[in-house]
């Protein structure tokens, strides 16, 4: 039979059309591999004729294990996260899951709201590409009755699987390179000071500066946030002190783009007056003016590794202790950096 316009088609409608029980249709929808082929074909044909569309959310609430998963990201407009989300969504779809993306806006309360949403929809897994590792966030993630994979933010030792970078965040590579070029007066345009990513990238900057025997000037360390606007503000604060650094190491590419825009507006050429480095090596780094020297942070590689860890948890093929996989960094040298000229005063 074919459903009439406005007629509600339910699992019972499909069962009657296929000549099987409601429980058999339910098994087919949740675990088709355990239903014999002949019955699967009858149910598939019944679904086609009736136009039945399974309510995945309702199914998840009943079984406490939906096919929906959730990805928490601090800023979907950041190319690193959008690239990662796109690949992770493709992998999830190929695996028969639906990935919901929740943009937290770098706000801890929104991160907690995203975790709460995962509970409400009985998500089968949470990818937490968040920026905070405060105890209440880790506590909420560790207590949820679903597998969790932390991405980019969480260090070794958290009570769930995580994919991250070296604890120095990659910025150490940028500062080491600037020091080799001869820069001795290097500023830092950081991210959120109370976030894991922000702290790790600041730690990388400080480590490399101390290793090179360079002074870390307090007025040249500015932590505004991870957006281009934050970079613009940071550059203005750094350059407002009356003494000019010869290079600025940035917490990510977006911050670097904002720094370059601010320097250009002030009349300073990059890299002739000031060298600038980024972090994440997003697709726009190679097309920026000038092309941005950056440190790799491959979003696709993060997505692939996180998906494999999540799948092994959901499938039950891995039930061991929390795992941590480190994604390697590499410095990509482009035209936004050069040897320093004689330091200039305003």
| Residue the block writes with tokens 């998840």 | 60
Residues 292 and 321 in one domain: no
Q: Quick check: helix, strand or coil at residue 227?
A: coil
Residues 215 and 153 in one domain: no
**Of the ranges 8-17, 24-33, 42-51, 80-89, which one carries the lowest mean pLDDT score?**
24-33
C-alpha radius of gyration, the chain, whole number: 25
Band (pLDDT 50/70/90 cuts) for residue 28 is confident
pLDDT confidence of residue 286: 96
Neighbours of 41 (CB within 10 A): 12
Asked whether residue 334 is assigned to any structural domain, the reply reads no
pLDDT confidence of residue 344: 43
Whole-angstrom Cα distance, residue 79 to residue 256?
13
Q: Which domain holds residue 126?
A: 63-167+299-329
Q: Is the dihedral of CA 200, 201, 205, 211 positive or negative?
A: positive
Averaged pLDDT, 216-236: 95
| Residue of higher predicted confidence among 60 and 193 | 193
Residues 196 and 157 in one domain: no
Residues 159 and 105 in one domain: yes
Residues 187 and 252 in one domain: yes
The answer for residues whose C-beta is within 8 angstroms of residue 250's C-beta and 6 or more apart is: 188, 189, 231, 256, 259, 276, 277, 278, 279
Q: Quick check: helix, strand or coil at residue 234?
A: helix
Residues 67 and 136 in one domain: yes
Asked whether residue 216 is assigned to any structural domain, the reply reads yes
pLDDT confidence of residue 345: 46
Q: Domain count of the chain?
A: 3
Band (pLDDT 50/70/90 cuts) for residue 130 is confident
Asked whether residue 340 is assigned to any structural domain, the reply reads no
Q: Quick check: helix, strand or coil at residue 277?
A: strand
Residue 55 pLDDT > 50, yes or no? yes
User: 92: closest CA among 303, 319, 315?
Assistant: 303
pLDDT confidence of residue 133: 61
Residues 181 and 277 in one domain: yes
Residues 287 and 303 in one domain: no
Averaged pLDDT, 224-238: 96
pLDDT confidence of residue 265: 97
pLDDT confidence of residue 148: 96
Q: Give per-residue pLDDT as tens, 253-303.
A: 999 999 999 999 999 999 999 999 999 999 999 999 999 999 999 999 999
């Amino acid at each position: 039979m074919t459903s009439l316009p406005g007629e509600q088609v339910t699992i019972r409608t499909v069962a009657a059309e296929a000549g099987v029980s409601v429980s058999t249709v339910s098994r087919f929808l949740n675990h088709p591999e355990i239903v014999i082929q002949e019955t699967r074909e009858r149910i598939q044909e019944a679904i086609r004729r009736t136009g039945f569309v399974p309510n995945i959310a309702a199914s998840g609430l009943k079984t406490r294990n939906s096919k929906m998963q959730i990805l928490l990201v601090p800023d979907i407009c950041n190319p690193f996260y959008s690239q990662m989300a796109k690949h992770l969504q493709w992998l999830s779809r190929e695996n028969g899951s639906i990935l919901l993306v929740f943009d937290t806006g770098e706000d801890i309360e929104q991160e907690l709201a995203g975790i709460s949403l995962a509970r409400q929809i009985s998500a089968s897994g949470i990818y937490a590409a968040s920026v905070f590792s405060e105890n209440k966030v880790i506590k909420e993630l560790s207590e949820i009755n679903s597998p969790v994979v932390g991405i980019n933010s969480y260090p070794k030792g958290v009570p769930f699987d995580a994919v991250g970078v070296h604890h120095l965040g990659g910025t150490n590579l940028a500062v080491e390179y600037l020091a080799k070029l001869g820069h001795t007066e290097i500023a830092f345009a950081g991210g959120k000071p109370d976030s894991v990513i922000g702290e790790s990238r600041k730690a990388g900057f400080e480590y490399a500066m101390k290793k090179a025997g360079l002074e870390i000037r307090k007025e040249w360390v500015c932590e505004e946030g991870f957006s281009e606007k934050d970079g613009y503000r940071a550059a203005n604060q750094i350059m407002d002190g009356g003494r000019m650094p010869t290079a600025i190491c940035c917490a990510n590419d977006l911050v670097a783009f904002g720094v370059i825009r601010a320097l250009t507006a002030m009349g300073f050429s990059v890299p002739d007056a000031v060298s600038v480095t980024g972090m994440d090596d997003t697709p726009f780094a190679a097309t920026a003016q000038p092309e941005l020297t950056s440190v790799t942070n491959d979003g696709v590689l993060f997505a692939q590794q996180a998906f494999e860890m999540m799948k092994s948890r959901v499938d039950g093929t891995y039930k061991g202790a929390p795992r941590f996989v480190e994604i390697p960094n590499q410095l990509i040298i482009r035209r936004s950096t050069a040897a320093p000229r004689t330091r200039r005063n305003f």
